[in-house]
Every structure is written in structure tokens, then in C-alpha cells.
Structure 1
Amino acid sequence: ATGSGKSFIANALGINACQSGYKTRYIRLPELFSELEAARIQGKYHQVMKQFQNLPLVILDEFLLIPASDQEQRELLELMEYRCGQASTIFCSQFMPEGWHERLGGSALADSILDRIIPSAYTMRIDGDVSMRQRKRMIKN
């Protein structure tokens, strides 16, 4: 749920990775797709994609908050194909992994993307109907 602490926990893991000497990049998925589109227009797509592929840790926040277009799905597949088994990726999503296939269009492309994510994934589910911000206010009072 919104405000449950997903991004907070992911960022804490990212900070720990940085402190341990691992290059890390935090980016919201919509921003990643915008960055890749701009790189494509500038003729730097492969250079930017290679940078993301070579990072030991990438944190993708707001994962599939907005359903991915066909082009975005292809870009995500390319990124996951390279990172699969080579580097770590943290996905922060409002949706359970069981709903990702539909958010990716439910096609064979969605199958391919999830085949590179799900088999080796660790899942952390954060439940609760009170946001982290509300809990913090309740503790102060």
C-alpha cells in the first residue's frame, strides 16, 4: 500500500550497498523509461542501457504503477535479460508479483520478463492499512 515503507526499506538497502562499496542506482520506473527514450533520441540508448546493466544494484521504484507500453516492455526485457543472474535488482511495487503479468500486458513478452525476475526473487510483502506517515504521527501524539 501507499506509504507502507517500501521505498524507505529499498533505499536503506541501497545505502547499505553503497557503504559496502557497491555502485547503486535508485530510479522510478517511469523515469527509467523516460531516460531510455531520451537516450534513444540522442543516439545514446546502448550507452545508457549498458550503464544500467553494469550496476551491481538497481532499485526500481513504482514498478508497474502505470502499465508498461510494448516498447517499455521490450526495454525492461533487455535490461532484465542482462541483469538476470549477474546483478541485483530491487522492485518496489504497489502490486503483488501475481499481478505483474497482467500489468505487463499478459503476453509472451510479459512471460519472458517475469521468467528473468521471479525464479530467483526474494519477496517481502508489507501489509497494513495505516501508512508509515500516519503511524509516525500517532507515535508523536
Structure 2
Amino acid sequence: MLNHPTVDKLHQLRLSGMARALAQQAQSPEIDQLSFDERLGLLVDSEAAERESRQNAARLKRAKLKQAATPEDVDLRHPRGLDRPLFARLMSGNWVGAHQNILICGPTGVGKTFLACALANQACRQGHSALYVRLPRLLPALAMGRGDGSYAKSLAQLAKTDVLVIDDWALAPLTDEGRRDLLEIFDDRHGARSTIITSQLKVKHWHESIGEPTLADAILDRLVHQAHTLDLDGESLRKNGKPQ
């Protein structure tokens, strides 16, 4: 049989999915009942699935999500005010293609970060790039970038990411420099990319928390108008080790 040298050649060509499927076919006594076209189709399907799995793993690694949350892990039974029909629609991923945003608000411990990471994970599965950042760390990092020359590169990376997750919005007062950095970020992303934001403050308080009315108007105009809002409430899920 030529299977062994063929498998080796497939590995050399970096077709590991086809190589593994061919080796499995050789161990199946029923495989001879399939036509050549059917067997070839199975090999191609295996290679396609292998490549998609590797690509998704790479996207998730680059996303640096804080929690390894998946849509299947989300507890829809916990009474926290989660809009289940809206969440189900968001899982379709259409909001990413439409360059819409998601705003997740609620008290600490109700699973805002978990939901944001689950949505970003789903976007990665659907072929989109994602990146998780915490606002209290993002703004100081951008400020340092002005000094070491990495500022423009950091803005470019944020601008090209399909789904940007910004956690802990409005956790601390913004500086004037921070407000202007946010305007740059959202101006680049408006109508071109999607953003997920989590905050302990409801959206109606964001304008005041930003601090400077003119910049607040500009930032929220680019962020809120094309957004889906998930307002959560209830007891902390961290109590008694409850799953999120």
C-alpha cells in the first residue's frame, strides 16, 4: 500500500488534516465501499476542519481574553436581568458584520466580563479578530506610547481589530489626554469595526463620567447610537462560587 509514504508527503506539504484522515481511512474496513470522490471529499473536509481549528486557536490567543468563556458556558437561568432573546440574536454575529457595538452594564460580579468574553469568543469562531483590554490599563499604556514611539502603532492595532473588548469603563476619572485617546480610538472604529464595553455605570451616566461635555458628545456619538445594550442586575455570581 502507498498509504505510509502518502501520509508522510501530506505532512511534508503541511496537510496534516488530510494525513490524519487518510490514516484513519486505512484502518476502516468499510472504506472500500466509498467511491474515490467520496473518500477524497472526506479528506478535504478533514483538512478544512483542521485549518479552521488552528486559525481559531490563533485568533483566541491573539485576543487575550480575560476569561475562557464560550456561549455554551453562559448561565441563562440566573436571575440577573439578561435579555435572553437579544443575547441569542447577538450570538449570530450579525452585529459584527454591521459594525455595531455592545454595551454591558451592571453591578460588580454579575458576569459582565464573562458575557463580553463569550461574545468575543463567538466572534473568533466566526472568523473575526478580537482583542481584550481593560480601560484602566489601556490609557496609561497609550500615554507611555507617546514617549517610546509606539503610540501610532497601538492605535493602528486597535483600529484594525474586528471586535475590541474594553472592560471596566468609567472605573476611574478620565484625564484630558485619556478622553482624547478614546476619541481617536472610536473615531477610527466608527462604522468600520465593533466594540464591546462593560461598565458598572448605566449608559445614561457615561456622559457625566467622561467629564468634558464636548469630548463626551463626540465619544458617545460614535459609540452609543449603533449599539445593543445589556443592562444587568442582581446578586454577585462570585458569591458561593456560582458559575457565571
Which TM-score bucket, shorter chain as reference?
over 0.9
Q: Which residue of 2 aligns with 1:82?
A: 188
Instruction: Pick the aligned partner of 1:23 from 103, 126, 129.
Output: 129
Question: Are residues 38 and 106 of structure 1, via their aligned partners in 2, closer, same or farther at CA, if it must alter by over 3 Å?
Answer: closer
Q: Which has the larger radius of gyration?
A: 2
Q: Structure 2 CA distance, aligned partners of 1:33 and 1:113?
A: 15
Structure-2-length-normalised TM-score: 0.54
| Amino acid of the structure 2 residue aligned with 1:11 | C
Shift in Å, 1:135: 6.2
Which consecutive residues of structure 1, in runs of 5 or more, have no partner in the other structure?
Answer: none
Could you list the runs of 4 or more consecutive aligned residues of structure 1 that deviate by over 6 angstroms after TM superposition? none
Q: Structure 2 CA distance, aligned partners of 1:52 and 1:106?
A: 23
Listed one character per residue, the Cα deviations across residues 48-83 of structure 1 (whole Å, up to 9, x for unaligned) are: 101001100100000111121110000000100110
The root-mean-square deviation of aligned C-alpha atoms, in Å, is 1.4
- For the pair 1:33 / 2:139, whether they are aligned, the reply is yes
Q: Secondary structure at the match of 1:21?
A: coil
Q: Which residue of 2 aligns with 1:131?
A: 236
Count of residue pairs brought into register by the alignment: 137
Q: Structure 2 CA distance, aligned partners of 1:26 and 1:109?
A: 24
Q: Which residue of 2 aligns with 1:122?
A: 228
Q: How does 1:34-113 map to 2 (within 5 A)?
A: 34-113=140-219
Q: Structure 2 CA distance, aligned partners of 1:23 and 1:37?
A: 25
Structure-1-length-normalised TM-score: 0.92
Higher relative contact order (CA 8 A, sep 6+): 1
| Amino acid of the structure 2 residue aligned with 1:132 | L
Which consecutive residues of structure 2, in runs of 5 or more, have no partner in the other structure?
Answer: 1-106
Q: Structure 1 CA distance, aligned partners of 2:161 and 2:214?
A: 27
| Amino acid of the structure 2 residue aligned with 1:31 | R
| Amino acid of the structure 2 residue aligned with 1:66 | A
| Amino acid of the structure 1 residue aligned with 2:239 | Q
Q: Structure 2 CA distance, aligned partners of 1:24 and 1:37?
A: 22
Q: Percent identity?
A: 39
- For the pair 1:11 / 2:117, whether they are aligned, the reply is yes
Shift in Å, 1:20: 1.8
Shift in Å, 1:18: 1.4
Q: Structure 2 CA distance, aligned partners of 1:101 and 1:112?
A: 10
| Amino acid of the structure 2 residue aligned with 1:90 | I
